[in-house]
Every structure is written in C-alpha cells, then in structure tokens.
Structure 1
Amino acid sequence: MAGVILVTAICIVGIALGIGCVPSFAQSVAFDQNYIVIGGTDDHVKKLEGGLTVQLILDQTSASGFASKNRYLFGHITMKIKLVPDDSAGTVTAFYASSESSNHDELDFEFLGNSSGQPYMLQTNVFANGIGNKEQRIYLWFDPTADFHTYAFLWNQQQVIFQVDDVPVRVFKNNEAQGLAYPSSQAMRIYSTLWNGDSWATRGGAVKLNWTHAPFIATYQDFSVDACQWSDSGSSACATSNSWWNQVNFQTLDSKSQSQLKWVQQKYMVYDYCTDTERFSAAPTECTLR
C-alpha cells in the first residue's frame, strides 16, 4: 500500500507541474503467468531467465508468436522489445491487441524490418468494428535493436494513445458521438508475432527477406499486464472501472505530451492515411476531428 500511495503522490505532483504521469502498479512476472505460445511454434519461442525474457524466432520452417491467456477492455498494455538486428528486411515484428469477432477491434504496432544500417519503420493501425485502413508510419529516433524499448497502448473510453518509451506517437480519439466506430466494447487479447512480410513490408515489397541471415530473433521482457481483465460473463465492470487509466487526467493529452506528439509528427512521420489522396478522395471523417 505504501508503494501505491507513493506512486499516486508522485503522479499528483507531476500533473500539477504539467509534466504528466503514467503510473504502473504491475510487477515483473514470468511469461507463463500471462501468456501462451500460439501457432504450434513452441520450438520457435525460447524462454530465458526463468521466463522473464523470451525470444521469438523466424526461420524458413516457421514464424512464431504468443498471446495473452486473458482478454482485456481498457488499460495500459505494454511490452519491452528488442527488435531483429542487422539485415531484417522483410520481417515484421507485430505487437497488438485484437478482439475475436468478425467485426473485430484491433490496435497495432508493426515494426517493419530493414537492410542493415537503415532506419526501422513503425506502422500503427486501428480497427474499429471491423474497419481498419488507418495506417500511420514513423521512423524511430533510436536504434531499436541495440536495447529494449517500451511500446504501449494507453486505452480508455476517450482515446487510445500509442506510446514509445512513454512518448505519444499517435492518438486515436473516441468519436462515437459523431457516428464513428471506436474500440469501446470488445475485449481484446494481447499478441506478438514475428513473421515473413516481404510481400509488402520493406519498400512496398521491393526488398525480400534474405534467409541466409536466419534465424531472425526478436527479444521480449515485461510480461505484466496493467489492464481490466474481462469476465466471460460479459460484465460491464471494465467500462465503469475507477482504475487510473480512466481518470480525467488521461482523457486528453497534457501540454508536455502534446508537444512530444507534435515533435514526432513533424520530424519522424513518413505516412499518414489522412493525407493519402490516392487512397481517399476526401479525408476520412475522423481526420477532421483530431
């Protein structure tokens, strides 16, 4: 309890100073506590340090992936990832949350591999009520293969904030009042996969995966989940939860976060579906409501 009081006090001070705060009460746990291997790829998922570190492996025999045991509706969903190093062109490392219906909701981080020495590109996307096509792409401002970095969704009833090391790189707002779909009612599992996307991932598919460099390995830590666990009874408790991510301070970006988001957009954004006139004759409605 003392730790919770301390973190809460720090957050109150941070918010008062306009520097914001993203508290987390989750502790480091082993992979098996919250996740399972998917796709029958046990031999391509390597657990290290008692499961506190996990590697996904891609080679010519198989891709690999894992999924959360439980489903969640709203929360702060995070993962520490060290991406595939060296010549990773054609590989896609995906970290995402998705529901399981035909008109599914989904929140995506997709890391697009590159030839050695090239910047890593991050693609984000949102599906709401089965409708996606909301891609944005940025270059990361650091080498994501040299060390672990934290990637997160801060998801509540007002907005989804995509974060890289606590820096917002994208915000998707709830515009249901304007008749637009938002991921507000479908619980999601958390996934990560490493697979061959060389038909599209690197320069639109121009650069193919070089299997002589296999195996390709992405490394993970931080398997705790700080989110509202959905009940199979269909409980609405997550929607009415008084958890920290639903508090008023996280319903909009504070001034520091707004400045950080503007910095990312101005310096590192290379594609925004909202400005793609070849795909859309008029900007999608949500683009005018940012």
Structure 2
Amino acid sequence: MASSCNVVSMALLACLVLNSLVFVAHGGDFYQDFDLTWGDKRGKIFNGGKLLSLSLDRVSGSGFKSKKEYLFGRIDMQLKLVAGNSAGTVTAYYLSSQGPTHDEIDFEFLGNLSGDPYILHTNVFTQGKGNREQQFYLWFDPTRNFHTYSIIWKPQHIIFLVDNIPIRVFKNAESIGVPFPKSQPMRIYSSLWNADDWATRGGLVKTDWAKAPFTAYYRNFIANACVWSGRSSSCAKTNSVSAGAWETNELDAPGRRRLRWVQKYFMIYNYCTDLKRFPQGVPPECKRPRF
C-alpha cells in the first residue's frame, strides 16, 4: 500500500483528504431506521441509537436491514471495520431487492492478516445476475477510524464513493441490451460473516478464531432517497424519478480526476479486463466510455 501512495503527489493527496473531511455525515437513529435481523444479540445498537455494531464468532455472525425500501437516491453510511487479523471475515454493506431475479449493489470488505490491506469488493446485480466485480485497495486504514461509504443510484448510473471520492461508475447501458436496476425497490443490508473458504487469498488463509469476536461499527446513516411504499415512491409527487438533492451528484471534472486516480493506483481487479474469464470478449458495457 505504501508504494502505491508514494506515486501520488502530496498536494493531490492532501486535497483529497481535505475534501473527504469536509463531507461529514449527520446520521439518523438506528432504532428507527433498521432492524437487527440475525445473530442472536451479536448485533447491538447503543449510544441512543447513534451507533451500531455487528460481531462474528465461531458460532455465528450477525446482520441488519433497513425498515424502509428505496427506489433511487443517495445512501451514506460510516463504517469502522474489523481491526487486527481479520482474515476470513467479510463485512458486507449493500442494497438489495428480493427474489431470484433480484437487483443488488454491493460493497464487500474482505479481511486480511494484520498489516495487510483490506480488499474492497464491489459488484452490481441485475435480474439476479452479477459477475461485474471490481476490487480495490484503500488509501487509508479502514480499521482505525470511521469512513463514509456511499452509493448514488439513479436511472442513469450507479456511483460508488469512499469519503465522497468516486471509485466506480456503472452506467445504464440498456440501449445496448444490458439490464440496469431501475424497477425493483431495495433495502439496505449489512452483515459480518465467516467466508474463509474464499475471502482471503482465495481461501488459503483461514479465520483465526482465537482473535474472535470480530466487530465492525456503523454510524451516521443518511438516506437522501425516494422511499418506496406499497406501489408508489415518495418522489412521485414531484413527477420525476430523479427528484431530490442527490440529483446534482454528477461527476464534475474534479470528480472524474479522482475516479481516474483511484482506478489507476488502487484498482486490483476489473472484470472488464479479465480476458481469461471472458475469452469470447468482455461484456458489452465494458466497451463504452467509463466516465
């Protein structure tokens, strides 16, 4: 990780850090916004609903989901990931609908041995099919402090952001036959679970249960989004599926520069360049301009 950061000018890095600090979330109430769904009390809400934790031990992991469903918007959550030797663990934070043809927008944080970087795994599912993975190292230690992980989901595109820095854009390519998640409302989910059969170096490094319990923390949830209720959206009264302040969250020139910076220095896997996986040619959306 240090070698990757050294190639970036200190001025640019300082600018990015400054901008990430400016984006400070003021969160809601976890009691009001989420349900602890599994884990037999390994998930906890405290500090008057301002902080939530999930834990994993040899017996079970834990998880939660949002009480509300959303159809387009911006979702922000601050996470502090499992510290120390987190090899074999996965902290998943994602949007998902239900059913065999579900849509899904994923952040997954793959643990590693102490001192090694986490891997941030992203994916987009449409109509039950994913296989659109991109993976990144982060330019900071995600276990020392809280950082903001955001999804902007619009009819035109999906943007993944870390501390308000875009790391990935998935554009709507329905015009060339690529399905896009735009009709199924999704809830917010998160879980902490054991995946040592694949998560760390393809399953070569197993979970060290002597280090359990493993714990991740959450705070400052914000959903600036269209809430789905029954068969209608809270944005319907505006006669626009793109209504809301998050509509302005397009990538400007500085945003595109930051995206290129992340993808140049911190991306470690991109399905669009995996010719071994797609010997007959990469998926059609990969042939379009990225930004």
Q: TM-score, normalised by structure 2?
A: 0.87
1:271 aligns with 2:272: no
1:198 aligns with 2:199: no
C-alpha separation between the residues in 2 aligned to 1:147 and 1:265?
Answer: 23
Residue identity opposite 1:242 in structure 2: A
Output aligned runs, 1:1-290, within 5 Å: 27-39=26-38, 41-235=39-233, 237=235, 240-246=241-247, 249-250=248-249, 252-281=250-279, 282-289=281-288, 290=290
Maintained 8 Å contact 1:155/1:245: no
C-alpha separation between the residues in 1 aligned to 2:108 and 2:133?
Answer: 10
Shift of 1:117: 0.3
Residue identity opposite 1:125 in structure 2: N
Maintained 8 Å contact 1:34/1:69: yes
User: Structure 1's 25 and 100: CA in aligned 2 closer, same or farther, altered over 3 A?
Assistant: farther
User: Structure 1's 199 and 231: CA in aligned 2 closer, same or farther, altered over 3 A?
Assistant: same
Deviations 1:175-207 (A, max 9, x none): 112221011111000001000011111001110
Residue identity opposite 1:134 in structure 2: R
User: Structure 1's 117 and 64: CA in aligned 2 closer, same or farther, altered over 3 A?
Assistant: same
| 2:12 aligned partner | none
RMSD over equivalenced CA pairs, Å: 2.1
1:230 counterpart SS class: strand
1:180 counterpart SS class: coil
Maintained 8 Å contact 1:26/1:226: no
Maintained 8 Å contact 1:54/1:219: yes
1:265 counterpart SS class: helix
Q: For structure 1, which runs of at least 5 residues remain unmatched after alignment?
A: 1-19
C-alpha separation between the residues in 1 aligned to 2:261 and 2:23?
Answer: 25
Shift of 1:27: 4.8
C-alpha separation between the residues in 2 aligned to 1:59 and 1:175?
Answer: 42
Between 273-282 and 85-94, the greater mean CA deviation after superposition: 273-282
Shift of 1:136: 0.5
C-alpha separation between the residues in 2 aligned to 1:209 and 1:77?
Answer: 31
Maintained 8 Å contact 2:120/2:136: yes
2:48 counterpart SS class: helix
Maintained 8 Å contact 1:34/1:224: no
Q: For structure 2, which runs of at least 5 residues remain unmatched after alignment?
A: 1-18
1:32 counterpart SS class: helix
Shift of 1:29: 2.0
C-alpha separation between the residues in 2 aligned to 1:46 and 1:117?
Answer: 28
Q: TM-score, normalised by structure 1?
A: 0.87
C-alpha separation between the residues in 2 aligned to 1:235 and 1:285?
Answer: 31
Deviations 1:53-95 (A, max 9, x none): 1110000111100000111011111110000000000000000
C-alpha separation between the residues in 2 aligned to 1:116 and 1:149?
Answer: 19
Residue identity opposite 1:240 in structure 2: V
Residue identity opposite 1:142 in structure 2: F
Residue identity opposite 1:88 in structure 2: S
Deviations 1:184-236 (A, max 9, x none): 11100000100001111100111000000000000110133221100212459
